[in-house]
Chain A
Amino acid sequence: MPRYLVELAPLHSELILIIGAMVLLLWGAFRPETERQADIISWAAIGVLALAGIVLARQPLGNNTLFDGSFRFDAFARYVKMIVIISSAGALLLAPNDARRGKYLKFEYAVLLLLATAGMLMMISANDLISLYLSLELQSLALYVLAAFKRDDVRSSEAGLKYFVLGALSSGMLLYGASLVYGFTGATNFNDIAAVALTKGAGQNIGLIFGLVFLMVGLAFKISAVPFHMWTPDVYEGAPTPVTALFAAAPKAAAFALLTRVMITAFGGIKPQWQQIIIFLSIASMVLGAVAAIGQTNVKRLLAYSSIGNMGFVLVGLAAASPEGIEGVLIYLATYLVMTLGAFAVVLCMRRRSGPVEEIADLAGLATTNPGMAATMAIMMFSLAGIPPLAGFWGKYYVFLAAVKADLWPLAIIGVVASVVGAFYYIRIVIVMYVNDAKSGAENRFMRVPLRESTVMALACLITLLGFLPFPLRNGSLGDWIIATASAAARSLFG
């Protein structure tokens, strides 16, 4: 390998994704535009993601910074990047069947997804305000297009437009915040900002605080924390379901990693200031996510509020601002990814001969008509509700534990109450599936579950059910391994 490539080793997975995206774009442009072609390119894109994942996993850790310290590769970055790559690949795997049936199967989908993923990976490693903004926009621009991907569908176009307009607003605020931070610290690099933030009296520097607030608002929009969440239900509902599946997991993890890095690395010195904002965002998200979801009848909107609420729970870990808290964040993100993919795989299979359906009431009697699907959904719902020993319980457990250790008792208590309220709407779905009777008639039956969807469902069930049981893998369970890795990753951020 040439020397410059060796020096760029921490960037290899991003490079693979970008080069892969370019190659596939050219390939697709010069070949006849058929559905078969698009399907092949989807598989090729999954291959690219897999390759990037393998390269990432083999990348040795160390204090790797590139480009004058604006790109940082550490255990934290590797962990979150792995989550992002897996959820992107999962979302891509779920796309072609739905796209073929909805007649929007185009090869650009896979290319855009690769570009968005590349942007996410760079967000996770961003260690400078400039690289922060560039990577965020690379990701966002691709996602705006994906949201509106079903061009001839009004709802999809509306979703894309809303997301774009509000995203632009949030980008503006983020840029304003970045300029303020630069103005009051004289630095764009996180480590340099940290040096200023650590000086005495930085907490009273009103300009710096303003910059911090605007920066946080921009990032809070990306993780759809209340009150910057308004776009989420509409976009989730309007966008094609595979895109929603992508939105719910990968960009959330990436944006959260970015927020975490900015808070811990750059603004660690003024922790008391941002901690209050995080606590506010966390409580607002948990409560609104739980309360508003109850009123929903559409499954995708329900899952949108569910993701708002879940981001609130993850923020509890960040609010603790300790290695334990970040460890909880990372565990939560990993389990959340699995549950989201599992739940969306089920939603994607809610399709009758007449077309897709999205109402919760359409799930009635699923336990008798399609027990496998119903069982998957039930497991995901119980896990999201945080019932032990399912995977979802452990994410909640570790963030609340960290909050308690950081003396944030009220936050932990509100979180527990919110998760009880949340359990109501999760379990209501289970009741609809298992207690209510199905509408009779062949036209009310769901179509057969395709292989890719059922694979994702089976994997999600397996991990959710058994992942955290004391089930010997080689030494300890999958959950033990996740916890250990997350712990190391969280500590690398503080190191």
Chain B
Amino acid sequence: MQNAALLIVFLPLAGALIAGFFGRVLGERPSEVVTTAFLLLAAILSWWVFTQVGFGHAVFKVPVMRWITSGDLDVNWTLRVDTLTAVMLVVVTTVSSLVHLYSIGYMAEDDSRQRFFAYLSLFTFAMLMLVTADNLLQMFFGWEGVGLASYLLIGFWYKKPSANAAAIKAFVVNRVGDFGFALGIFGLFAVCGSINLDQIFGAVPALAGKPFEFLGYQVDTLTCLALLLFMGAMGKSAQFLLHTWLPDAMEGPTPVSALIHAATMVTAGVFMVARLSPVFELAPEALKFVTFIGALTAFFAATVGLVQNDIKRVIAYSTCSQLGYMFVACGVGAYTAGIFHLFTHAFFKALLFLGAGSVIHAMHHEQDMRNMGGLQKLIPKTWAMMLIGTLALTGVGIPGWIGFAGFHSKDAIIESAYAAHTPNNYAFWALVIAAFMTSFYSWRLMFMTFHQPARWGADHAVHDEHAEPATASDHAHDDHGHDHTPRESPLVMLVPLYGLAAGAVLAGVVFTKYFIGTGHGHGEADPYKAFWGPSITEGAHNHILHAMHEIPHWVGFAPFVAMLAGLGLAYVYYIRSPWLPAATARTFRPLYLFFLNRWYIDELYDFLFVRPAFAIGRALWKGGDGTVIDGTIDGTASTVGWFTGRAVRFQTGYVYNYAFVMLIGVAAILTYMIAGGVGR
């Protein structure tokens, strides 16, 4: 089992190194095969480890090497495998292997596929490092590693300026969050004397409620640290205020969006909060903040998703919104529900992204839904898969009994939000309204893409500035110059869709009772406690998972009703009376523009940060660097040059000169010793 864990983590690294350094020699196809095969093997091993850990309750650690020893800081590189890790291993390797497989088809026209697959595998390795972390430094390493891979993959088509801009934006916005995360780690080290998770978890109970003084204010230690850590999570998981990079990240190839910006990397923040649940449980104020940000993000992103026209951006905002759900679950203490939603969401959101990729592939790199329509007949398999994804995302199911994956996990979160009794039940209502909007925009996407009359063909500009170039040289455009009829994607792209669809249908039914329990048992008897083991800590007063099963009946039906309402409204708007959306947009024009422009947050940041930063940068460059630093350096250089001239001139070549210098030296030292040196 230890070897299995090592293989899971290092197979992707091996794949990345092989494809990255020897890809040119090996050729494109072998690189694809090697990385994909390694990932598939890792995925199989992960499922095995998952069954062993989750149901066999084997928690273990695999020491890899001694890493850093410096003063009190003693860091070993150890893989920590408990149920939480095992769940993440399954999610990461499964989605990653399917995305690898899918990319063989999707990227077939690209001419630097080795690089692409190397990056994908590198990303997977970093993500696995993150989830197997036994200490915060290791987690930070993985955290930055996925950030790097994300940067490289968003900017994969590096000749496209918008992709470069998006990559830089993703990196910079994440820096803001990472700054908080790093401060949180430093803080935990300062108060706990260690960054190993076990030692931190052992030390924090003694710190609960103890304040420290900062600039004359009394600040609660753990609240402050938890908030700093959460800042990192906000950046990585694109929560409100730090979410701006995620929609732009859609500039990357679609498989990347599916893997990194839907299923795995963006959920790292949720994972981190769950992993550090012993710390967060002792900081109730911080948890309230987590809930608030989560609810706000869920609501905000859903409103923006309503009006987007780019198929990938709709799904991106949907991801943002769903991440908000997960944080609400963590915020109210239902960590396992958050992780459960993370687990199911990975399947259906990756499915939706890959399905969208299949649509884009069929439409010859068209991403604007206004130029789609009528595709149901032409690409029926993709349509069916997208339908399953939509059913899972909107949470279709029969309340209290059975449904698609999203039904189980999302409803659990909404119920726990109700059970948590936030002020005015704001979290509950925000999530229910978001569920309504989720349903609306998801079905809007389905209807606009597949069911409305076709809007593509000779009269329509198929390519606009949003189009994804298939290669850096755009040669794909020549390939289909004479044939615009969308075609079904090849089998290699459909098989991953089938796999994910199976997860989207079944993940909820099969795993509900392990992930969040049945609510019927008490204490240890509840199966979820045995499943999670010690990997998740719930405070002594945290009975949320029990309370969420004892809520009024109507609460259980609320998301169901919201879902139906969204579906109905979308049907009316986009099938029955297609003139309605335009009319609505005209009537509520300010609101429409507000949503369309993403609440003007990008513009706000541009005004507040980007422009001043450019101004400061320019001032420092011209004034600071040009005048002061260059001036100093040039001045030093010319001074040194002057001295060099003197020193060389001293070297006359005459022995008596040399002897003279020596004697002067002796005399000088002796004089100094007599005058001041002696007796000190």
Contacts and interface: CB of A to CB of B under 8 A. Distances in A.
A344 B102 CA distance: 58
Interface residues of B, number: 28
Contacts of A161: 655
Given A230-B657, A294-B640, A295-B644, A170 B662 contact: yes
B644 A291 contact: yes
Q: Which one of B648, B661, B670 has the greatest number of beta carbons of chain A within 10 Å?
A: B648
Nearest to B652: A230
B640 A221 contact: no
Interface stretch (A64-72, A127-135, A209-217): A209-217
Interface string A212-235: 011001000100001110110110
A414 interface: no
Contacts of A209: 673, 677-678
Contacts of A231: 658
A162 B658 contact: yes
A43 interface: no
A257 interface: no
Given A209-B678, A230-B661, A165 B655 contact: yes
Nearest to A296: B648
Contact of B648 (A203, A214, A272, A295): A295
A277 B648 contact: no
Contacts of A440: none
A210 B673 CA distance: 8
A161 B654 CA distance: 11
B364 to A, nearest CB: 47
A187 interface: no
Interface in A246-286: 272-273, 276-277, 280
A217 B669 contact: yes
Secondary structure type dominating chain B contacts: helix
A166 interface: yes
B461 interface: no
Contacts of A213: 666, 669-670, 673
A203 B678 CA distance: 6
B665 A228 contact: yes
B604 interface: no
B643 interface: yes
A160 to B, nearest CB: 12
Given A203-B678, A209-B678, A291-B640, A217 B658 contact: no
Contact of B679 (A169, A203, A217): A203
Given A162-B658, A228-B662, A230-B661, A273 B673 contact: yes
A421 interface: yes
B651 interface: yes
Contacts of A226: 665
Given A234-B653, A280-B669, A288-B647, A421 B662 contact: no
Contacts of B641: 294
A451 to B, nearest CB: 32
Contact of A166 (B650, B659, B679): B659
A442 interface: no
A206 interface: yes
Interface in A292-317: 292, 294-296
B674 interface: yes
Contacts of A337: none
A204 interface: yes
A213 B678 CA distance: 12
B680 interface: yes
Contact of A227 (B653, B665, B674): B665
Interface string B549-575: 000000000000000000000000000
A384 interface: no
Nearest to B643: A291
Interface in A163-221: 165-166, 169-170, 173, 203-204, 206, 209-210, 213-214, 217, 221
A217 B666 contact: yes
Contacts of A295: 644-645, 647-648
A204 B678 contact: yes
A421 B645 CA distance: 15
A78 to B, nearest CB: 30
B662 A233 contact: no
B666 A292 contact: no
Interface string A89-119: 0000000000000000000000000000000
10 contacts: A204-B678, A226-B665, A228-B662, A228-B665, A234-B653, A276-B677, A277-B673, A292-B647, A294-B644, A295-B645
- The 8 A-B pairs with the shortest beta carbon distances in the complex, nearest first, are A227-B665, A230-B658, A292-B647, A295-B644, A295-B648, A294-B644, A291-B643, A204-B679
Given A161-B655, A213-B669, 17 more contacts: A162-B658, A166-B662, A169-B662, A170-B662, A204-B679, A217-B665, A221-B662, A227-B664, A228-B665, A234-B651, A273-B673, A273-B678, A276-B673, A276-B677, A277-B677, A294-B641, A294-B644
